[in-house]
Structure 1
Amino acid sequence: MGLICFSLFIILALILIAVLKITPSSSTPKSEQLIEQSYPTLKKQVQTIDNQTKTYFLPDNDLIENQATRLIHNSKETDVTYYLTSKDNQTFWVNTLYVVSKNSQNLDTDSKIVAQFNSTKDNTKVLKLSDIIKSDDKSQAAFKLALTRYVFEATNVTSEQFIPLKNQLQSISLDTTDFSFNQNQLDFSLPDTISTVKKVSLAIDTINYLLNSDYQIADKSQNQTPKKVVALTFDDGPRPGSTDSILSTLNQFDIKATFFMLGQNAKRHPDLVKKVKENGHAIGSHSYNHPMLTKLKPDELIKQINQTGQAIYEAAHIYPTLFRPPYGARNQVVDQTILKPLIEWNIDSEDWKKPGTETLLKTIQQNVRSGSIILMHDIHQTTADALPTVINYLKNAGYEFVSIDQLYQHQLYPLTNYYSQHDAR
């Protein structure tokens, strides 16, 4: 009997030892146990950085390890564990660095993203944003313009911040690796020197045409049946009375148009600027006080742009990305200084002569074709009075009405002049 009890004791002892060997030590933080169970291929490493012991789990790849270690080194988190996961995004890897409290009981709910970066399929290169965006001047300028618009409209920028922030964003480097993107959006971090917004999320469908071909998402719009379209544009406003009448007519016909505003008028009538926005129309800049831009020096050009952009922004929280030069006057200096798509026209209604409805309509009838950009002015009541007749004629002729952005399927470039849907120079 004693021998049997002794044997049972030995067996139980052996079982206990085996269990202790395979059960993690209670001194190992719970988060590390969870990571080891969920991601057994990751290597555990411990480093002392700035007198802090940091534990992290990374894949067995020098390139990814070096990039992640740099990000961990810059992180200020304490009493946490870091780990990195990689996801195959068809043409590249999306690497996500997480941080989780050492006492965490659930990785899924408690993990926070520290940073993301992308690497090539063979994991031999960490991708920079500049690898994703086309390298030509027009694409780079268009991307920075989209970035600037996002930042301004995602936050409230004060008058004092407006010009410095715009300059910072226009000169930003695209050599950052802290970004990620998928079929829906591109996310990346701004430099610490830009304090207004830390993270940027740009919808892919608005910048897809700016991406290198390897990273573009299939564009379904190319398969759509072409339609007869025309873009109505109105210059020089807003102006009480005539602009109100035009907005009422456009609303009656459920038509969206594009208004190119003078900064001085936007500043005088901010409620009208806001009304144009609230009615769903596009708003562009038309300079501050309608000078001949080709006669201005670069610093005077910049002042015209900044003052107008600020007036429109303060009135309706819109950062205008489209520009129409007064009189259509532009040259290389104007193009390179303004750095926005320059929207010209191929039909001048000559409504500034106040010709009356019949003459104005005849001008449009003789020149309109699919893709036309029609120039009118919302500062003339005679134009407002003629607009219902013009719209009825175009509708009966089978035309659909679009904003300038819609006319070009949101694929517009700075350093380019647009005269109609099929005429960009």
Structure 2
Amino acid sequence: MAPSVRKHRMVRVVFLHPDLGIGGAERLVVDAAVALHSKGCSVQIWTAHYDPQHCFSETRSPDIPVVCVGDWLPTSIFGYFHAICAYLRMVYVALFLVFLSGVEFDVVFCDQVSACIPVLRLARQRKKVLFYCHFPDQLLTQRQSALKRLYRAPIDWLEEHTTGMADCVVVNSRFTAGVFRRTFKTLGALHTDVLYPSLNSKAFDSEVEDLDGLIPEKKTWVFLSINRYERKKNLPLALRALNALRRRLTTDEWGKVHLVMAGGYDERVAENVEHHTELRALASSLGLEDSVTFLRSFSDQQKISLLHHSTCVLYTPSNEHFGIVPVEAMYTRCPVIAVNSGGPLESIADKETGFLCEPEAESFAESMEKFIRDPRLQVEMGEAGRQRVLERFSLDAFADQLHKYILRLTE
């Protein structure tokens, strides 16, 4: 009788995430919460920052309650020490959850910042922790000076050892699994499963609206870049590829081409502001002002409309951990041109659902031109992409796999 009672007991899951904005990591956390709620779990998301005007729409649902604590803590000190501040903010959230909230929970799903895991072990009855590794944090920063290396050394040590304290560790791709093993050398015996990010397809099945002036009229070929305004996303590649494409086209053809640079943008983040300015300056220097639209902090509905009306997506980061944008694009029957490294090697079928290219303007431009020369290509690749997402990246498959991990932790 006891196993049956346990099987049907509602599992209470708390998600801990540093900043619940609109990036890829946030998309995964929200999808994970939605998935577990669909499986009958009670879910809450705890975070150090949440803005209802700058979030995914699902977080405004009473089914996915969001608790924000610690936003008064600094995100940097005079523009520096971002990592330490992020760690302190997450430790504060964990302390508040364990000692001050009175919230009862069975499992904690945390990602990005593992420093909170030791705090969770301090709970009266030890709680199980699932850690989702998007990518080792220590590989996301430059170490150009001895001072920076000295500053990062204890943080890197803390990341590795606290990650190893999780009861279950999953990663977002085979690529990340390999990087995890090479980076965290003391965790060689730790087993990591691959849990691909899913696509909550219901959000993309809503009625498609007009572009409402997002791009000029009478454009036949619309290329779309979706990524945060961060330098590591290599967004200048999209602009330089557009410029290289211009040299391949007639004047009449070029007049029908347009690029939309749609990016996650937060005025609190200096890099977002600076890089947006840098990209506009680059477009101006290349003489592309009339052929590019820069869109900041777009809505979910705008993104869906852009994907449905675009010829293809240009996905420019190299060694991206996974990248949910190609999956979103393929589901909406929009082919993808991406760099041939990292997660896109697993999500995109080269020459079937898009093209995998060298991170060079001419390579991207050559693939972009193919869509102009062969109108059937967009339709054929679009349909193939849709089928690939349904087979490999559905929310149902993601929910089933994640739910198994959660139940295993509560046994």
Normalising by structure 2, we get a TM-score of 0.26
Q: Which has the higher contact order (CA 8 A, sep 6+)?
A: 2
Q: In terms of Rg, which structure is larger?
A: 1
Query: Which structure is higher in strand share?
Result: 1
